[in-house]
Structure 1
Amino acid sequence: MNIERRIAERSSTRESVRIALGAYQLFGTMRNLSQQGCMVESPNAEVEVGDRCDVFLAPDYSVGGRIAWQLGDALGISFVHPVPESLVREFALDDWPQRAIMKRIGQGRG
């Protein structure tokens, strides 16, 4: 029986992110993002379900969370507080040149 526990639509991404687990830092590729959480691929990540973490989505923006699950190199992270929908939409932009334009005019992050 497959029970879907997500409460929000996830947007596909391919962004590099940094995750801090106390003094331990890891880097990975965020594969999807919603207001409530994300999935990150990070080879050789040494984490445990329930670990607290901070996910750095932009140089000046991080969000606290907990490791919800791990399957191989994939980590599910549940955020403590929702991230803004506008940030989720920006990460989901399929038009990468348009994202660069938004950043230059100040509508995008970082």
Structure 2
Amino acid sequence: MSIERRNTERMTTRGSVRFELGGISHFGTMRNLSQAGCMIESPNLAAEIGERCEVTLLPGYSASGRVAWQLGEAVGISFLIPVPSALVSELAMDDWSMRSDKRRGAANG
């Protein structure tokens, strides 16, 4: 029997993110995101459960967390402070080209 420990909805993502783990900067693909945490895949990653992590979700916006689990190249990050639901929704948009157009328009407007 599997016990679901998540209490916030996960949204599927596929964007590249920069994150810092053990004082070392890494890049990976964020596969899902919720207000409480995220899953990132990154090759050749060695993480310790409980290790502090800083995930750059958007330029100028980072979320601090701890490693909750690691399975192969995937690592689960539990955020120390929930991220805003609007940010989760923005990063989970299905049409990534529209998202980049939206950001470009905001920067130009």
Query: Structure 2 length as normaliser, TM-score?
Result: 0.91
Q: What residue number does 1:97 align with?
A: 97
Backbone CA RMSD of aligned residues: 1.4
Q: 5 Å matches for 1:66-105? A: 66-105=66-105
After TM superposition, which residue ranges in structure 1, 4 or more long, deviate above 6 angstroms?
none
TM-score normalised by the chain length of structure 1: 0.90
Aligned identity (percent) is 59
Alpha-carbon shift at residue 56 of structure 1 (Å): 0.7
- SS of 2:15 mapped into structure 1: strand
Q: Do residues 50 (structure 1) and 46 (structure 2) align?
A: no
Q: Which runs of 5+ in 2 are unaligned?
A: none
**What is the deviation of 1:58?**
1.4
1:62 aligns with 2:40: no
Distance in structure 1 (CA, Å) of the matches to 2:84 and 2:65: 15
* Letter paired with 1:81: I
Deviations 1:4-49 (A, max 9, x none): 0011110000111111124212111000000000000011112111
The corresponding residue for 1:23 is 23
Question: Which consecutive residues of structure 1, in runs of 5 or more, have no partner in the other structure?
Answer: none
Tell me how far apart the structure 2 counterparts of residues 17 and 100 of structure 1 sit (CA, whole Å).
15
Q: Which residue of the partner structure matches residue 10 of structure 1?
A: 10
Whichever residue aligns with residue 37 of structure 2, its letter is G
